[in-house]
Amino acid sequence: MDNTVREIMAVVMAVATVVITIMSFLICMPRRFPKPVIIISFIVLAAGLLLLNTVTDHIRKLPVPNGWPFIPLVIIFFKGNIFQKLFLLFANFFISISIIILFSMTFGFFVQYGSAQIFLLMIAAISVTFTVYIILMLKFGKQLLEKIFGSGSKKEWALYMISIFILYYFQFLLQRVHVQNNVFYFAAQIFLIWSFLILCYAIINTYEKTKQKYKADFARDIIAAGLEHYQRMNEQYEAIRIMKHDIKFHINTALDMLQNGEIEKGGQYLTGLKNQIAEKELPVYCNNQVINSLVADYARKCRDNDIELDISITIPENFFVHNYEMCIVLGNLMENALEACQKLGKEREIKLVIKPKGEQLALMVRNTYNGRVVKAGDKYQSEKQVGGVGLESVMAVVQSYGETLHIEHDGVWFSVFVLWK
C-alpha cells in the first residue's frame, strides 16, 4: 500500500509541476507556436518521463534532474533571451518542488509518510496552493516579469540563470540524501528558499536601480538641453538687443541711399537687414515655453542632420500640461524618431502634431524608418545593444496617468499616437 501511495503521489507531484511550468510560460513569455501545440508537447513529454520512470528505475539512480528534457522545449517554443527562459524554467521547478517538500515535511511530523492520510492531505494542500499560485501569476506575473526582464544584459541573466540552477540542483540532490532526520531536511529547504528570495531581491533591486539611473540620466539630459537652449536664447536676445541699438544707424544709411537716388541699393540694404533680423528671431512653435524649448532643440538637431521636420502644435491656454511628464514622452519619441531617420540615406522626415481632441490633447510623432521592427510579444524593443528604453519610459508615463498610447507602422512610416488628458 505504501509503495502504491508513493507512486501515485510522485505522479501527482510531477503533473502539478508540469502544469505550473506550462502556465507560467504561457502567461509570462511570448510564444512562437499556438497554445494547443505547446500544451500537447509538454503533456506528451511529461507522460513519456512518467512512463520511463515507471518502467525502469535507472534514471532515478543518475544525479540528473528529471526536468532537463523540458529545456529544448522551452528554447524552441518560446521567444526571448535564452537565459531568461531557462531562469523562469528552473525558478518554476524550484518553487514547485519547494512547496511540495515543505508540505511533505510538515505533514510528516504528524502523519506517517506513505500512508493514505498524508496522500489526501498533500493533494488538498497542493491543489489549493498551486491554484493560488496560478491566480497570482495571472494577475501580477506578466507585468512583474516584463519589468524585470526588461533590464539586465545577457551576461547578467546568464549569472542569474546559473544561480537558480545551482539552487534547484542542490534541492534535487537533497532529496537523494538518506538522512533519518526530518529537521535537517526542513532546515536545508528553508535555507534554499531563503537563498532564492535573496536572488530575487537582487534581481528586482538591480532593476529598480537601473530604472532610477535611467530617470536620472534622462532628467539630466532634459536639464542640459534646457540650459543649452536657454544659453542660445540669451545669445539671440543679446544679438537682437545690439541690432536694435544699431537700428537707427541702419535706417539713416538706408535713407541716405534713397535720398541720393540709390533706390535699388537701398532696397537691397533693407532686405539684407530684414534677413538678419529674421535669423536672430527666436523660433516659436507653441505658447508653452518648456515644450517650445524642447521642440526648438530637436528642430535644430533635425536641421543639422538634414531631416525634414513638419511641426504643428496647438496647446489651448486652458489646458494644463504636466511639463516634466510631457517632456519625457515627447523627448523620447522625438529622440527615437531622430535616431531612426539618421539610419536612412534619404527620405528623412519627421512629423510632429500636438492638437486638442475633445477634452484630450492628441500627440503624434511619425517618422520614416528602415522598416525593421524588433518586438518581444507585444513589447517594442530597441535595436540598440545597450539602453533603448525610450518607448518603455513613454509607456510607464502614459500608463501612470491613465492615458492612451497606440503604435502603427508599415514599411515606410513608424507612428506613435498619445492621447493626453
Query: Taking a C-beta distance cutoff of 8 angstroms, is the pair 149, 91 a contact?
Result: no
Q: Is the pLDDT reported for residue 387 higher than 50?
A: no
Confidence grade of residue 393 (pLDDT, cut at 50, 70, 90): low
For CA atoms 177, 179, 185, 187, give the dihedral sign: negative
381-405 burial code (b ≥16 CB/10 A, e <16):
eeeeeeeebbbbbbbbbbeeeebeb
Q: Is the pLDDT reported for residue 112 higher than 50?
A: yes
For 300, residues 6+ apart whose C-beta sits below 8 A from its C-beta are none
**116 or 386: whose pLDDT is higher?**
116
For 11, residues 6+ apart whose C-beta sits below 8 A from its C-beta are 50
**Matching residue, cell 533571451:** 81
305-337 burial code (b ≥16 CB/10 A, e <16):
eebebebebebeeeeebeeebbbbbbbbbbbbb
Q: Tens of pLDDT along 121-131?
A: 878 888 888 88
Q: Is the pLDDT reported for residue 408 higher than 70?
A: yes
Q: Is the pLDDT reported for residue 251 higher than 60?
A: yes
- Please classify residue 294 by burial: count the beta carbons closer than 10 Å to its beta carbon, then call 0-12 exposed, 13-18 middle and 19+ buried: buried
Q: Tens of pLDDT along 364-374?
A: 999 998 887 76
Q: Locate 170 and state its grid cell.
A: 542542490
**What is the location of CATH 3.30.565.10 in the chain?**
284-421
**CATH for 284-421, options being 3.60.20.10, 3.30.70.260, 3.40.50.12280, 3.30.565.10:** 3.30.565.10
Confidence grade of residue 325 (pLDDT, cut at 50, 70, 90): confident
Q: Locate 21 and state its grid cell.
A: 511550468
**88 or 226: whose pLDDT is higher?**
88
311/322 Cα distance (integer angstroms)? 20
The overall average pLDDT reported for the chain is 76
Q: Locate 390 and state its grid cell.
A: 525610450
Instruction: Choose the most confident range, by mean pLDDT, from 55-59, 117-121, 405-409.
Output: 405-409
pLDDT at residue 420 in the model: 75
Q: Tens of pLDDT along 18-40?
A: 777 888 888 877 777 888 888 88
Instruction: Choose the most confident range, by mean pLDDT, from 90-99, 203-212, 257-266, 393-402.
Output: 90-99
**407 or 49: whose pLDDT is higher?**
407
- Beta bridge mates, 405: 418
For CA atoms 19, 24, 29, 35, give the dihedral sign: positive
269/262 Cα distance (integer angstroms)? 11
Nearest to 395 by CA among 311, 319, 336, 310: 336
